[in-house]
Amino acid sequence: MPSIWVIELTLKTYVTSRILLTIPMILLLFTFVFIIVRILPGDPAAAHFEKSVDPLVLQEFRHRLGLDADPFTQYFAYLGGIPFGNFGLSMQDFSPISSHIAIRFPATLELTIYAMLFAVLFGVALGVQSAKKYDTVQDHGIRFFGIVTYAIPVFFLGMILQFIFSIWLGFLPTGTRFDPRYDAPTTITGLYTIDSLLTGNIQAFVISIRYLLLPSITLGLILCGIFIRLTRTNMLETLRMDFVVAAEARGLSEAKVTYGYALKNAFLPILTMIGLQFAALLAGAILTETTFSWPGLGTYLVQRINHRDYTAIQGVVVFFGILVSLVTLFVDILYAYLDPRIRL
């Protein structure tokens, strides 16, 4: 049996290797985006203007954005600014793109957190129930529900929920992030639900939750099918294992056996999927944000595309890429600490 020192050394080696592999992956992503936006045929500065523009104006425009330098100079200048949070200047008003990201990202993060929370709680609960009722009508119904929710387009589901709960029943708002008739909570973290609790503003907290419900449920329903299927598969295997059978033979309650033993041991792959899907949600909530007019990075990216703001598009895509890479790295490290097989 390996000693504790050897296990710790193996774990450190694994973590170090994952970190070292993440660096070239981020560089490759950055290089790929840079080539597409700035080097491929077509001048991004000229393409920004819908009509022909005076050459002197275009030259000054390039100079202010740093697009008049050679590609290698642009590449290394941009790369050197990323560690300091410098993602360049917007073509629209020459303002720092990092400030736009700082304003918009908390909205995307808050939507992602609540959508993931709903998807995990709802999906895992249905997956466990499906495994317990294996090959029954209830099992088939839950599996069918998971397939349908995963297959339905997110914008279509969002519009259906808007029609039912906002237009027809009038229970919830159709979109945006906060009621314009009231003052938004004081910004501390940028997450309205957290900021309202930190400042003791219960009214703002309730309003924030009302505006979060429809978009987070929409996004969560699309994802819950993944967790239903994954939880069901792992629970079916775990429920047949000897230690679960032994726990049942000892007369433990069904809830204790299911959640205290079986789900606990089947949860590691689910935890990994939570991390990966959370990273994907951060970068992929564009359709949901657009459907509900949610003021996050997704709607910001769509606006920049409509305005042909190529430097802002590049900055947001690079930011998303770095974010997804870091979350994936965190999931790999967490998996290594929780799964003893990696340390052997």
Q: Which residue, among 95, 101, 116, 324, has the nearest Cα to 217 in the 3D structure?
A: 116
Residue 7 has pLDDT above 70, yes or no: no
Q: What pLDDT is stored for residue 1 in this prediction?
A: 45
Highest average pLDDT, of 17-26, 120-129, 254-263, comes from 120-129
Question: To the nearest whole percent, how much of the chain has pLDDT over 70?
Answer: 93
Place of tokens 């523009």: 53
pLDDT digits (tens, 9 = 90+) for 269-326: 888 888 878 877 876 678 888 889 899 888 898 888 888 888 898 999 899 888 888 8
The alpha-helical segments, DSSP class H, found in the chain are 4-34, 44-48, 55-65, 71-81, 97-132, 137-151, 154-161, 192-198, 202-239, 242-249, 254-255, 263-284, 286-291, 297-306, 310-338
Residue 109 has pLDDT above 80, yes or no: yes
Q: What pLDDT is stored for residue 284 in this prediction?
A: 67
pLDDT digits (tens, 9 = 90+) for 139-183: 899 999 988 888 888 889 999 999 999 999 888 898 888 888 888
pLDDT digits (tens, 9 = 90+) for 240-280: 877 777 877 787 777 777 777 777 777 778 888 888 788 77
Residue 237 has pLDDT above 80, yes or no: yes
Q: Where are the domains of the chain?
A: 1-92+307-344, 98-297
Mean pLDDT of 26-49: 79
Q: What pLDDT is stored for residue 6 in this prediction?
A: 46
pLDDT digits (tens, 9 = 90+) for 51-94: 677 788 878 888 888 888 888 888 888 888 888 888 988 888 88
Q: Are 248 and 257 within 8 A, CB to CB?
A: yes
**CA separation for the pair 166, 173 (Å, rounded):** 6
CATH label, 98-297, candidates 3.30.1490.190, 1.10.3720.10, 2.60.40.1890, 1.10.10.10? 1.10.3720.10
Residue 222 has pLDDT above 60, yes or no: yes
**CA separation for the pair 304, 173 (Å, rounded):** 26
DSSP-derived 3-state class of residue 96: strand
Structure confidence at residue 342 as a pLDDT band (50, 70, 90): low
Q: What pLDDT is stored for residue 339 in this prediction?
A: 63
**CA separation for the pair 216, 211 (Å, rounded):** 9
Q: Are 332 and 71 within 8 A, CB to CB?
A: no
Half-sphere exposure (Cβ direction) of 321: Cα atoms closer than 13 Å: 21
More confident residue, 239 or 319: 319
Task: Tell me the pTM.
Answer: 0.86
CA 222 to each of CA 90, 153, 217, 288, 329: distance values in angstroms, whole numbers, following the listed order: 33, 8, 9, 11, 25
